[in-house]
Amino acid sequence: MLRVGIALVVAMTAAACATNPVTGKRQISFMSEEQEIQMGRELDAEVRREMGVYRDEQLQKYIEEIGMRLARQSQRPNLPWQFTIIDSPAVNAFALPGGYIYITRGILPYLDNEAQLAGVLGHEIGHVAARHSAQQYTRSAVTSMGVLIGSIFVPQVRPFGQLAETGLGAVFLKYSRENELQADSLGAEYAAACGWDPAEVPVFLTTLARIDQVSDRNGTPNWLQTHPQPENRVERVQATVQKVRPANSDGRDWTVDRDGYLGKINGVVFGDNPQEGITRGNEFIHPDLRFAITFPDGWEIVNGEEQVTAQEPGNKIFMVLETVQQSRTRGVPQSRPVTPTRGIQQTAEAHMKSAGYRLTEGSATKINGLDAFVGTYQGKASGLGPATARGAHIVSGRNTYFIGGIAKPDDYPRVLNEFNDAIQSFRTLERDEADRIQPNRVDLYTARTGDTWQSIAQRVGKGNVKASTLAIMNNHSVDEQPAAGEKIKIVVGG
């Protein structure tokens, strides 16, 4: 566990008043600036170890340069500011006390220019400058909640891998509504002070709302569940924009720099890292464990920490992939282990029984040359009630995988063929095929006459991402097509 307990003891024994650097008001604070810096330094080591740093020296230097320019305009320019790109596909940015700012590689493709990047980094700097983390710490100290790591996008732990199993899992909390709105305004002020167009801040807030509208509610947590409505945030930050960017100011006086920004993020990894498995269209591929499976066409696939799930859009019908028995090879996290000396049928029955399902019929078989047991099961599923499952336990290498489809009894006959097709698609990858698989990356493309997001997604991007995702990535609504000659971001497979 992190050594935040040291600071907690000090805080509980000597509460003190401090002046808020942004508002100038006196407020109760249980954390001195020295304690903020110490805590940020210790948590920074945990973030780097658990979340990973994105390895791109030029891009990292670019983020640092912009971040430091903004930090010098803040009310706390002398903090030991650090800016780091985290190797996570989540659309997010967050801050630690003491000046430690993080931005995920997953958010970079959704930012459309340098001014928007400055607004996001400025927002996180604002949280630190206004001592929002210290305020939250003070409020939570009596319940030993620890320190706040704030995020303007998805503050829950889930998108950040296995942090819930570490000391960091206990410190992911959300900022208050007013803290978020204040950080929006501070981000616009800092950006304007450096010459970036503050009007791009509300533009990106609109992008966030679009992301939420098309997001899978059963996948990444809903940003709007824990943050103010985007319309309210856009309206509130507009007042700051009008103050720092008068209506009669010449647009040429402000830096946006879309082309420069696109050049910097060209080639950045998009989506999952192949080491953890990647999704290509409706196929899930795991190069490290050397297997692939094809889920039903059009289903939403989520590569989670505990399992890979696929859901039929609009219905509570799911497929699940997880490891039942696992070697020490890095890969899909295992579910409850089963004694490896048992036969495959015993393994299957024991695994399903532990999940509350009983076998009604099944048999041992081969799936693409692999030993397997395929069966039908009855049980209850959370959120569904009584459920019927069609599942296969497949031995591949030193691992045993479970692939199952789950539906309500009335829906089961309709989707049985899709369940069976997905189960039968499980296959091993030859080593040379696995070695050729590279991550999806951002690329640049100039739209042609007649292009639509759908045609670009299929023809140029080979179906790596949805048409709606491409639209949102490029600062468009999903029903607004690209203009001929427009330079846009696309996603291509390695």
> Worst-scoring range by mean pLDDT, 10-14, 353-357, 462-466?
10-14
Checking if the pLDDT of 237 tops 90, the result is no
Q: What is the pLDDT of residue 269?
A: 93
Strand-pairing partners, residue 374, are 363, 392
Query: Which whole number is the average pLDDT over 52-76?
Result: 96
- Locate CATH 3.10.350.10 in the chain: 441-492
Q: What is the pLDDT of residue 19?
A: 62
Q: What is the pLDDT of residue 326?
A: 54
Q: Output 306 or 117, whichever has higher pLDDT.
A: 117
Q: What is the pLDDT of residue 279?
A: 86
Q: Output 258 or 341, whichever has higher pLDDT.
A: 258
Q: Confirm if 218 and 311 have CB atoms less than 8 A apart.
A: yes
Choose which CATH entry (3.30.70.920, 3.40.1000.10, 3.40.50.300, 3.20.20.10) describes domain 274-436: 3.40.1000.10
pLDDT bucket at 168, cuts 50 / 70 / 90: low
pLDDT bucket at 238, cuts 50 / 70 / 90: confident
Q: What is the pLDDT of residue 147?
A: 37
Strand-pairing partners, residue 378, are 358, 388
Checking if the pLDDT of 212 tops 90, the result is no
Placement of tokens 């533009």 in the chain: 203
Q: Output 308 or 258, whichever has higher pLDDT.
A: 258
Contacts of 243 (CB under 8 A, 6+ apart): none
pLDDT bucket at 302, cuts 50 / 70 / 90: confident
Cα-Cα-Cα-Cα torsion 326, 329, 331, 335, nearest 10 degrees, comes to: 20
Residues 314, 318: Cα–Cα separation, whole Å: 11
Q: What is the pLDDT of residue 54?
A: 93
Q: What is the pLDDT of residue 229?
A: 54
Query: Which whole number is the average pLDDT over 40-48?
Result: 88
Checking if the pLDDT of 98 tops 80, the result is yes
> Worst-scoring range by mean pLDDT, 12-21, 54-63, 150-159, 197-206?
150-159
Query: Which whole number is the average pLDDT over 270-292?
Result: 88
> Worst-scoring range by mean pLDDT, 30-44, 67-81, 210-224, 436-450?
210-224
- Per-residue pLDDT of 396-439, as tens digits, reads 988 999 999 999 999 999 999 999 999 999 999 999 999 888 88
What are φ and ψ of residue 492, in 5° steps? -120, 150
Q: What is the pLDDT of residue 299?
A: 92
Q: What is the pLDDT of residue 427?
A: 97
Q: What is the pLDDT of residue 230?
A: 54
Q: What is the pLDDT of residue 156?
A: 36
pLDDT bucket at 149, cuts 50 / 70 / 90: very low
Residues 22, 76: Cα–Cα separation, whole Å: 9
Radius of gyration of the chain (CA): 25
Checking if the pLDDT of 294 tops 70, the result is yes
Checking if the pLDDT of 247 tops 90, the result is no
Of the candidates 306, 304, 309, the residue with the CA atom closest to the CA atom of residue 324: 306
Q: What is the pLDDT of residue 367?
A: 97
**3-state DSSP assignment of residue 68:** helix
Query: Which whole number is the average pLDDT over 346-366?
Result: 93
Query: What rounded mean pLDDT belongs to the chain?
Result: 81
Q: What is the pLDDT of residue 253?
A: 81
- Locate CATH 3.40.1000.10 in the chain: 274-436
> Worst-scoring range by mean pLDDT, 44-48, 145-149, 298-302?
145-149
Placement of tokens 């591929």 in the chain: 285
- Per-residue pLDDT of 171-200, as tens digits, reads 455 677 788 888 999 999 999 999 999 999
Query: Which whole number is the average pLDDT over 326-332?
Result: 45
Residues 305, 424: Cα–Cα separation, whole Å: 24
Query: Which whole number is the average pLDDT over 460-471?
Result: 82
Contacts of 423 (CB under 8 A, 6+ apart): 367, 374, 390, 391, 392, 403, 405
Checking if the pLDDT of 252 tops 50, the result is yes
pLDDT bucket at 304, cuts 50 / 70 / 90: confident
- Per-residue pLDDT of 334-348, as tens digits, reads 444 444 434 899 999
Q: How is domain 441-492 classified at the CATH fold level?
A: Membrane-bound Lytic Murein Transglycosylase D; Chain A (3.10.350)
